[in-house]
Amino acid sequence: MEAGNAQRPGSPSFGPGFLTTPNGWPYLLAPFIPIAIALKLLDASAGLIFFSAALGVIPTAALMGRATEEVAAQSGPGIGGLLNVTFGNAPELIIALFALEKGLHEVVKASIIGSILGNILLVMGAAMLAGGLVGGRKVQRFDRTAANVQSLMLILAVAALVMPAIFELVEGQGLPGVNQERVSFDSTVEHLSIAVAIVLIITYAAGLVFSLKTHRELFNPHSDDEDGEDDDIWGWSMRTSVIALALAGVAVGVMSEILVGSIEETSHSIGLSEFFIGVIVVAIVGNAAEHWVAVLVAVKDKMDLSVNIAIGSSAQVAMFVAPVLVLLSFVVGPGPMPLVFNGFEVAAIFLAVLVANQVTNEGESTWFEGVQLLALYVILGLTFYFA
């Protein structure tokens, strides 16, 4: 693709009708960015500030994802793939960093679990349901080998993530309760968490080599497009893409700071636990645009790409985002954050990855499988609400 300002044939643009297209809806929420800032300056109620900031995160995250894809499209397949996987979870990483700085460790851990659950249950379930019913297809097929590789990688990553919690359960003080902000853990579990984080990051790097170099053909769902059009590229110049990426990063940072700053007071004022806010609300808003893309491409019968987004994003959270946050917690915030999840989080994540592995094992999906994934997500959400 050539760098330039001209739009490619068939590519969407920011015309008058753009906001009414499937790709344009996140930007309808852009007015909530100044609204959230104004409410913060006016010292409005925490609930209003929180929900305005949550809605404001969505368009900024969407712009960051779009700008990343535009930069990646002009950087070649190797660097482009690296940019996509590196910045793919940037919004939720930024939100988590602000929460770490404020010492909201349980919110951060809840958002990590919520991101994984949201991708493999909510997103993949909605994609299978929409692809089957809206797309009018009895069965949709995807590459079983690629899906199994990512599912196995996710299972192994989750197993590693919960080992410090199991160690704490057996050898330490036991798992923390819901909404119990454990101030300190034994140094042994902190050291174990660091070691696990390093191993996961090394494994993640090896996975990048596997997916971007040695076995790239397994993870290239766009190769099946025969019409010569790419609905996901808008033809921005490199300069425009970099500027948009920088502006989106600043906007995500501002919205994240406002969002995190209002979590505690919002939790008390509306009667929702910080745990529920972290595992459901924060986890969804940081990935809303990416979630929508997975559903949209499923309707277009591009299930390879949809499954890749859902499972790949979950694996990225488990193998990159979570370990990075653990390591950063030793220099950011009041104290280190070991990988010690509560009992609900441990049970939910194991159930979710086992179900996801079973659903993707055959390389095909139906709308009813989507219903079952969504049902499990709702059940877990209800459990978290009453916890």
Q: pLDDT per residue over 363-380, tens digit each?
A: 888 999 999 999 999 999
In tens, the pLDDT along 51-81 reads 999 999 888 888 887 787 777 777 665 566 5
CA-based nearest residue to 327, from 155, 204, 177: 204
**Position 77 in a domain:** yes
**Position 41 in a domain:** yes
Radius of gyration of the chain (CA): 20
Residue 268 confidence (pLDDT): 85
With cut-offs at 50, 70 and 90, classify the pLDDT of residue 225. Answer: very low
**Position 12 in a domain:** no
With cut-offs at 50, 70 and 90, classify the pLDDT of residue 224. Answer: very low
**Domain around 161:** 18-386
Rounded CA-CA distance 10/228 in Å is 9
SS3 364: strand
Please answer whether residues 71 and 83 qualify as being in contact, where contact means their C-beta atoms are separated by less than 8 angstroms.
Answer: yes
- Lowest mean pLDDT, pick from 82-86, 96-100, 284-288: 82-86
Rounded CA-CA distance 122/283 in Å is 11
- Lowest mean pLDDT, pick from 165-169, 179-183, 258-262, 315-319: 179-183
329: tokens are 């917690």
Residues 6+ apart with CB under 8 A from 195: none
Rounded CA-CA distance 276/256 in Å is 17
156: tokens are 């192994």
Task: Report CA torsion sign: 82, 88, 94, 99.
Answer: negative
Instruction: Reply yes or no on whether the pLDDT at 349 is more than 80.
Output: yes
**Position 345 in a domain:** yes
Rounded CA-CA distance 328/97 in Å is 8
**Position 1 in a domain:** no
Residue 86 confidence (pLDDT): 64
**Position 3 in a domain:** no
Rounded CA-CA distance 312/298 in Å is 15
What predicted TM-score, i.e. pTM, was given to this entire model?
0.84
Strand 364-365 and strand 140-141: the pairing is: antiparallel
**End-to-end Cα spacing for the chain:** 51
- Count of domains forming the chain: 1
**Position 10 in a domain:** no
**Position 123 in a domain:** yes
Residue 77 confidence (pLDDT): 56
